[in-house]
Structure formats: structure tokens, C-alpha cells
Structure 1
Amino acid sequence: MPELKHAHRLRTGRYSEAGQIYLLTAVVLNREPLFGNFKNGRLVVDAFRTAEREEFATSLAWVVMPDHFHWLIELKNTQLSTLMARTKSRVAVTVNRSIRRQGPVWQHGYHDRAIRKEEDLQAVARYIVANPLRAGLVGKIGDYPLWDAIWL
């Protein structure tokens, strides 16, 4: 599998702080639309809920797109790298088992952005859940089944 030329830059300056809010994004390898199938998309949601049960993070908003996800979380009792490794691993195992495939599901790494305290979290959440609308997948947000936000 080709290594991303600048993947190391994804880690530059990365830190994990309990109580900090992060916007996390992970992308499927080669942008394969694995989560265009509702059942596979729900496996991502199940992984988010498992992270909450383990008290690693509190989900504030998320959207599962056909080839990636955006997840707004408050980090709890773990490091970002652990949270994302476990989440991506759970999804890979369950999706591969579900559709009888083998091999990697995700591109290496992930993108994270710490949300500043002065940012409007509801505006960030609205931006996240409007992804399917901006991508032309639906005519209105309520028609897309794979999103949620604590404010809505």
C-alpha cells in the first residue's frame, strides 16, 4: 500500500487533552464508498457508541459519509491516537466480516482539529451534519440517515 507522502504532517503538533473538543475525520482507502450501504454505515455508528460506553469520548455530532466520517467529540479517558485506532479497527473488522472482504478499510492516519473554546459548537455541528446536503446526496438533511448531534 503506498504511504502518504506527507502523512507525518498529520501528527505534527498533535496532542490529546481530556475535556478538549475535537473534530475527527477518517477516510476510507481509495475513497471506496463502503458506507454508502446503510448497514455498513451503522457499523461506524456502533463503533462511536462503543467508544462512549468505554468512556473514551462523548459524541457531540457525527456524520458517516459513503467514504469517510466526521466525528465531533469531547475526549475523555484516552489519547486521540488510541480512540481512533480502536474505532477504525472495530469498523474494519465488522465491515470486512459483514461484506465478506479482506484487507485494509482505512487510509493511514486521520485528521483532527481541536475546537477553540470561543468557537460556536452548534455551528460546527450544523456544518458536520450538512455534509450530505453539500455533497448532493440528499435534498434536505433529514433525508440522510447517518448523522446525529446532541443539539438537534
Structure 2
Amino acid sequence: MGRKPRVEYAGALYHVIQRGNNREYIFDKDEDKTFLLKDIKDRKVGTGFKLYGYVIMDNHYHLVLQVEDEPLSKLMHLINSSYGRYYNREHNRTGHVYDGRYKVIPIQNERYLMAVLRYVHRNPVRAGICSQVNKYSWSSDEYYRNNRGNFIDIDLLLGMLSNDREKAIKQYISFMEQEDTIDYEQMDVIGDRSFMITINPPKKEPVKKSLDEILVDTGVCPADFTLIKNGSRKRNLVPYKVAYAEEAVKQKYTFKSIGENINVSATAISKLLNGVE
């Protein structure tokens, strides 16, 4: 049976893992890691995806990203094909560079996003390459610690920690020193299944219009708009007032605020909605 396609949508957040064929070292030289990073930077400029984190190990890499119009599958194909050609050329070899299709785990909330970033940045620590996250050169950790947002989109995650950037960075550093909470074994199982992502696009909260905008949307003319705002009780204005009040209630405004905006009481709004003049 063939692999099920991954369902993707614009704005989705993903944790991507790509390993070398047979887990062989395919990024064992600094030049190799530099090539991959440069290619990712170039793709980012060309396609506009957001990159929240990465780490490049000797035999695999991790990306934490958010796609826009360019599907993840196309983006990963471009990145992996480019590096595959480079690696085979530089090492005078042919054949597969990667161990099958990349693994991808959907990130469904902000709390998990922070945990994934820590998992990614602590990869070298878990592997015994270094004792601290900031001792490894080939990850996005330095961008967060040094408040550098030119390549890595640091604002979202640091903003989750604090609106004060200095405090946010301190909290980030403290968070990176804590042990991971992600179930790594389950993560590998999900990836090996070549699973189908079936997340629904996040629902956008409707924009709440101002009360004046709601009143204008009733179709009232400028002169009558002014009369209504001044509390006029002319009979011909009633349909506009009713339409205004009904829509304002739908948008969760209180009777008091609806009335104050047109210079009448909350009780008057209640009567208006109940057909009492």
C-alpha cells in the first residue's frame, strides 16, 4: 500500500526531522552544514516561510517552521534535493543521501511549540556533544540569546515569555536549561508511520467592529447618522437603530455601551429590541 499524502494548509506549524541514509554522517564537515543553512536562508527569502528554530547534527537535522503559501512538501523537496546534489558532487558519490521521507510532527499549540524548540536546541546536549545548549554552534539558540531576528523569527516565542525582551531572553535561557518533556519514542513512532496530518486550519476570530462602524453599515445617510448619534427620536430612524442594536448585540456589546454610543439608555435599547417604542 502506498503512503498516505500529508494534508497541509497555509499557516501550519511543523517540527521536521530529516536523517541521513542508514543514519550515516552527511553533515560531518562545517562546509556541509554551512551549505544547508545557506540554502534554507535562500529558500526563506524566496518563499516567505517562518523559521522558529533548527539544529544540524552530523547525521540529521531538525527544523521548526511555519509554512505560508508554499506547501511543506514542496519546500522540503527543494531543500533536500539541493543538498543531495551538493553532497553527492562534493563526495564523488551517487545514490540516496537521506533515509527516506522526512518525518513531520504538527505543532498544535504554543505550549508544545516551546517544548519542541527546547527539544531541538538540546539535541547536542542529549547526544553528549556538549554540556550546555549555547556551546553548540549549529543551532538557532544563539539567535534567541542574542536577540537576533534577521534569519530566525524569534519574536513569537520570546513574546510568549514576556513583553519585556530582556526578561524574555532570561526566561528563554532558563527554559533551555530544563529537562525535555517530549516523548521522543512516540515522536519517532509517529514519524515512521508516514502519518497523515489532519489538523484543521485555526479558526480566525471575527474582527469586532466599532459601534460607529456598525451604525454606518445599516446604510444610514450621514445626516441621519448624526441625528441618531445625538439621540434623536424621529420615527424614520427607528429601523436603523434596530438594525444597529441587533448587530451590536451579536458582536457582544452590552446594552449600556450600545445606548451610550447613540445617547440613549440601556433600557431604551432593550425596548427597541423588543419592539417597544
Please say whether Structure 1 and Structure 2 have the same fold, judged by a TM-score greater than 0.5.
yes
| Structure 1 unaligned regions, length at least 5 | 1-5
Equivalenced residue count is 144
1:26 aligns with 2:22: no
- Report the secondary structure of 1:147's partner residue: coil
Greater percentage in strand:
1
Tell me how large the CA RMSD over aligned residues is: 2.0
- Report the secondary structure of 1:39's partner residue: helix
| Structure 2 unaligned regions, length at least 5 | 146-277
Q: Which one has a bigger Cα radius of gyration?
A: 2
Alignment of 1:1-150 (within 5 A): 8=3, 11=4, 14-149=6-141
User: Residues 88 and 127 of structure 1: is their aligned pair in 2 closer, same or farther, counting only changes over 3 Å?
Assistant: same
Q: Which letter maps to 2:144?
A: W
User: Residues 126 and 132 of structure 1: is their aligned pair in 2 closer, same or farther, counting only changes over 3 Å?
Assistant: same
Structure 2 partner of 1:3: none
- Report the secondary structure of 2:144's partner residue: coil
TM-score by length of 2: 0.48
Which of structures 1 and 2 has the larger relative contact order (alpha carbons within 8 angstroms, sep 6+)? Answer: 1
Contact 1:26/1:69 (<8 A) preserved? yes
Superimposed CA distance per residue, residues 97-125 of structure 1 (whole angstroms, 9 cap, x where no aligned partner): 23333222112111111111243423321
- How big is the shift at 1:69? 0.8
CA distance in 2, matches of 1:107, 1:75: 23
Show structure 1 runs of 4+ deviating over 6 A: none
TM-score by length of 1: 0.84
* More divergent stretch after superposition (66-75 vs 102-111): 102-111
Percent of aligned pairs with the same amino acid: 25
CA distance in 2, matches of 1:138, 1:100: 31
Structure 1 partner of 2:274: none
Greater percentage in helix:
2
Contact 1:25/1:111 (<8 A) preserved? yes
CA distance in 1, matches of 2:138, 2:81: 20
